[in-house]
Chain A
Amino acid sequence: MSEIEIESRNLDLWYGSAQALKNITMAMPEKKVTAIIGPSGCGKSTFLRCINRMNDLVKDCRITGELLFEGTDVYGNSVDAVELRKKIGMVFQKPNPFPMSIYDNVAYGPRVHGLRNREELDRIVEESLKASALWNEVGDIPDRSAIDLSGGQQQRLCIARTLAVKPKVILFDEPCSALDPISTAKIEDLINTLKHDYTIVIVTHNMQQAARVSDHTAFFLLGELIEFGKTKQIFELPEKKSTEDYITGRFG
């Protein structure tokens, strides 16, 4: 087993007085794909958003326990959420390109982090669009508005935009739920390629997707981590009854 990149230890999370995550302990290995599955409201997206501290934006959100990234608690006093998010990128459920040109979308991250050199930006934009399998489609129209792209292209642009910041981890929050099957297949192919260079955590409500793209799978139910293991084992020989019920479609 490869090295552990992200690890949560006894993580609890409350929204006001409602506990959304209960004692989550799991370790996500480097340069592997970890899938988090479970029915709606099970806390899988909430957990994902703990990793890059997006829950900081939520009022009345309280977290206890530890969430280690490269051995450091991301909720420690010395950690700056802005710096953390440069290393842990995120792709969201609904494609959310900025209302700017394709080029400006990809260059946004590097620019925000102070890069001004046009040649360097050109190079990063080209690399990122190639790595997100979008270069062949938009490489010759970088000045077109990102809003004109199809939903699937927009989502790959969002991936390119994330890659441009050169993160170590990419979090995917149900990245295909707004996409058609062909666009979904392209994103899945992309995830299979990206895992050679990045640690990936993907939340999905599509179990076939989890089975196709992930190395490890975690099953969440009502804020608890029910089972975590190799994807093959989870899908073929689940230890817990509720895991089996869920993946065989008996509920959820």
Chain B
Amino acid sequence: MTSLISPATSNRAAKVMLWVSASIAILTLMFILGYIVVQGLPVLTLSFLLESPRLSGAEGGILPAIVGTFCLMLVTLLSAVPIGIGAAIYLAEYAHEGAVTRIISFGVECLAGIPSIVIGLFGYAFLAIYLGFGFSILSGGLALMFMVLPWVVRVSEESLKAVPGGLREASLALGATKWQTVSRVVLPSAVPGITTGVILGIGKAIGETAVIMFTAGSSLLMPTSLFDPVRALPYHLYILASEGISDKMAYGSSVVLLVMVLAINLAAVAIQRHYGRHHVRN
């Protein structure tokens, strides 16, 4: 039995449908971005970026929230990157495949599956109360680290495993030790992939609200130490909108948040370019 539709027709139909799908995806994104930017642009002034909020954020700026977000990101990065990459190196280069690696991998998977609100609750109970860090940058940053860690570990492990075995052999055959091989050849080759993993994680963390509302607090004051509470941008945005304080200010905060995410992604591209210059081909 022959098909009722000729191959040429189905070919054309497929092309049109794929084009429509792609257009919807891109237009949705453009619409969201456009809407937020148009709504937020009127409040985006220098004083909005550089002043502290007044009247719970209905007036003034969002500087403490911007600073707070940066501080949280920094704590998350500085804790998640060394621990995550260390775990990934152990799993990819040192551990023999077996019960132990399976248990660690399973644990990492489980950690990735925990809803962020649960991580927030755990962060509150363990970091804020039990360890006595209180509502603070430290509690919030470490709680975000719990959330980001699985991504960093998994993507780093994959990137390390993707480094060709021939490079390891070449290094070892020159009389390099295992650690010299890992640190000088394997790890630099995996940096582009690892960077992507870290950026994905941080991108998730920067927009996260549930984890930080129980751990970082909601103070609108400028933080002066790791133990001060802060209100991160997404949480500020949430409060502005949910408590009906100011939609305008909420959109302004959204634009700033988007720009920060964009900046992080651009940084990732720059790092990938830098380390990727010897790669690809062959």
Contacts and interface: CB of A to CB of B under 8 A. Distances in A.
Interface of A: 52, 54, 57, 59, 82-86, 89-90, 92, 94, 96-101, 108-109, 112-113, 145-148, 151, 158, 161-162, 165
B265 to A, nearest CB: 24
Chain B contact-residue range equals 20 to 34
A147 B174 contact: no
B274 to A, nearest CB: 12
Interface in B234-282: 277-282
A92 B189 contact: no
Given A147-B279, A147-B281, A112 B176 contact: yes
A54 B169 contact: yes
B174 A145 contact: no
Given A98-B185, A99-B189, A109 B169 contact: no
7 contacts: A57-B169, A83-B175, A90-B173, A147-B279, A147-B282, A151-B282, A161-B170
A52 B96 contact: no
Nearest to B174: A109
B7 interface: no
Instruction: Name which of B167, B171, B277, B280 has the most chain A CB atoms within 10 A of its CB.
Output: B171
Contacts of A100: 278
B21 interface: no
Contacts of A89: 173-174
Given A57-B172, A85-B172, A85-B175, A98 B167 contact: yes
A145 B278 contact: yes
Contact of A112 (B166, B180, B188, B280): B180
Contact of B175 (A82, A92, A158): A82
B54 interface: no
B56 interface: no
Nearest to A83: B175
A238 B184 CA distance: 48
